[in-house]
Amino acid sequence: MGTGDIFGMPTAHIMASAMGGIRTAGDLVAWMQMSRRMKINEAKAYVAEKLGIDVIDLTNEEVMRQVREDLDIGIITSVAGSAKGIAAKWKIAELLDIQINSVNLFKEKLRL
Amino acid sequence: MGKRIFTRMGDGERIAMSPGKIKDDLLAGTNDAADRAGIPVLTPDDLELLFEIFAEPAKIVGVAPGEEVIVSDDAVATLFYLDQENCGQGLPLSRVQSILTYERACCADTLSTGHVDYTFKQVKPIVNFEKQDYYNTSLMTTAPFFYGSQPNMGIYFRPDGPFPNPADLFPAGKIKEALDAQEDAAAQLTRDMVYVSKQMYDVGCEGINFDTAASAGDADFFATLQAVSELKKKTQHMAIEVGMSSEFVMGMHGDITFDGQLLAGMYPHQQVKVVEAAGADIFGPAINVSVGESTPWNLARSVTFVKECVAVANIPVHPNVGMGVCGVPMFEVPPIDAVTRTSKALVLIGKADGL
């Protein structure tokens, strides 16, 4: 995206056509585009298989809210003690079988 | 008076058009893109679907469940605290607060940050500050997190930079000196882009966004491609997104090639192939908007360019959809009816992998 006020440009695009980020599975599909150069349908199919759900449910809040909580990969609402940030990304890297640079650095600091 | 459909001019002005006039503008827009780039026009089915998108009476339109795509951005996540010249809202938030709000309130698929003077040359002397901020924020973000900046080769020329200015040399008839100045500036730009990006990689950067590439023409684009190529050898686990500044690479130099291809004069379906060859992971074409034409004309034209670009691409394509590009009116408060129609059309007809 580019520029424009936050409501009229990015939020409008997100509502019209985007996957929904950590509210659903948008971040997971984005990781596959970034790490494996996957086109959108290939990336969705890969993530759906890893999650064990249908592709159509990747943006189904009612399904993804529970999937994310069960896998502890970060949920949109705030629950103390649940994984967010680097802890969630660590689990996402393992789930999707990808390398995430920030996670690799964090592991290195922990000497793991 | 027959049926009228509300839409927008390229500058955002609301207008009412007849269905016939909208169809005329859709056809003219796709023909203009096809003529310029030597690519196919939209099919009759595409044009019918595009007309239906404009004819929908609702203010906001969108894709069906299952057809959604990814959004990536160039520091949009920091808009909450930025000022009007960045279309920002000026809230008393820090940069990290702005980014986390974008992740958890706006629910973007990816996030990004960048220096307020969004340019590699300006970032270089304060890169340690940027590294601190990126590192701290990346510990808290869950969605993929980009660092973005622009090549902006123009500021490498006098009086802003160290190299003689081709805009002075060309009129003086100093052609070779003007070409040499661009080549020297491009080499320095590549070094700066690689330096900053590598510094960010070392603190865990997940993705770098070379935004608004080729704004100073073919040498600027070359510097960006060279930087991508060099970085891919050193930063294996950092995605690189290349977003363009316009639909056409200006031949300010005119004789620069990459991967055997002349860069000057390239359109999006050609740009994506050299970006791919350089090793980038995501490509963002930018299609110009004419403020004197209607949104149907501009959007048909943009979708024509994007559809061909996506068709030939082997990497994900995220068309730039901020104000003034790819069909979005050139207005700092983009009208939502036009923005969402742009969004839907680029995904359904252009087959974009993201926006």
Residues of A in contact with B336 (CB under 8 A): 7-8, 12
pLDDT of residue B2: 84
pLDDT of residue B49: 98
Task: Give pLDDT tens digits for B7-20.
Answer: 999 999 999 999 99
Distance from CA of B142 to the nearest CA of A (A): 4
pLDDT of residue B128: 98
Residue in chain A closest to B71 (alpha carbons) equals A18
B325 vs A85: CA distance, rounded Å: 33
Q: Do A2 and B207 touch (CB under 8 A)?
A: no
Chosen from B59, B61, B69 to mutate, greatest number of chain A CBs within 10 A: B69
Chosen from B70, B89, B333 to mutate, greatest number of chain A CBs within 10 A: B70
What CATH number should be reported for the domain holding residue B68? 3.20.20
pLDDT of residue B85: 86
Instruction: Tell me, yes or no, whether B163 lies in a domain.
Output: yes
Task: Report the complex ipTM.
Answer: 0.98
Q: Do A76 and B315 touch (CB under 8 A)?
A: no
Share of chain B above pLDDT 90, in %: 98
Instruction: Tell me, yes or no, whether B353 lies in a domain.
Output: no
Residues of B in contact with A29 (CB under 8 A): 70, 109
Mean pLDDT of B46-53: 98
Chosen from A5, A6, A71 to mutate, greatest number of chain B CBs within 10 A: A6
Task: Give pLDDT tens digits for B302-313.
Answer: 999 999 999 999
Option in A6, A19, A102 nearest B109 (CB) = A19
Mean pLDDT by 10 residues, chain A (112 residues): 91 97 98 98 98 98 98 96 97 98 97 82
| Number of domains observed in the structure of chain B | 1
Q: Do B87 and A5 touch (CB under 8 A)?
A: yes
Option in A1, A38, A39 nearest B322 (CB) = A1
> CA of A94: how far to CAs of A44, A87, A99, B302, in Å?
17, 11, 8, 39
Task: Give pLDDT tens digits for B203-241.
Answer: 999 999 999 999 999 999 999 999 999 999 999 999 999
Task: Give pLDDT tens digits for B235-294.
Answer: 999 999 999 999 999 999 999 999 999 999 999 999 999 999 999 999 999 999 999 999
pLDDT of residue B231: 98
Bridge partners, B213 (sequence order): B244
Instruction: Tell me, yes or no, whether B52 lies in a domain.
Output: yes
Instruction: Tell me, yes or no, whether B193 lies in a domain.
Output: yes
Instruction: Tell me, yes or no, whether B342 lies in a domain.
Output: yes
Task: Give pLDDT tens digits for B83-98.
Answer: 998 889 999 999 999 9
Q: Do B68 and A19 touch (CB under 8 A)?
A: yes
Distance from CA of A67 to the nearest CA of B (A): 16
Instruction: Tell me, yes or no, whether B126 lies in a domain.
Output: yes
Residues of B in contact with A101 (CB under 8 A): 201, 204-206, 235, 237-238
Residue B164: is its pLDDT beyond 70?
yes
Instruction: Tell me, yes or no, whether B333 lies in a domain.
Output: yes
Residue B1: is its pLDDT beyond 70?
no
**Lowest-pLDDT choice from B71-75, B124-128, B341-345:** B71-75
Share of chain B above pLDDT 70, in %: 100
pLDDT of residue A3: 87
Residues of A in contact with B313 (CB under 8 A): 39
Distance from CA of A42 to the nearest CA of B (A): 10
Instruction: Tell me, yes or no, whether B355 lies in a domain.
Output: no
B201 vs B107: CA distance, rounded Å: 25
Per the prediction, chain B carries an average pLDDT of 97
Q: Do B138 and A86 touch (CB under 8 A)?
A: yes
Give the number of beta-carbon pairs within 8 Å between A and B: 243
B33 vs B38: CA distance, rounded Å: 8
Its pTM stands at 0.98
**Residue span of the structural domain in which B206 resides:** 5-348
pLDDT of residue B200: 98
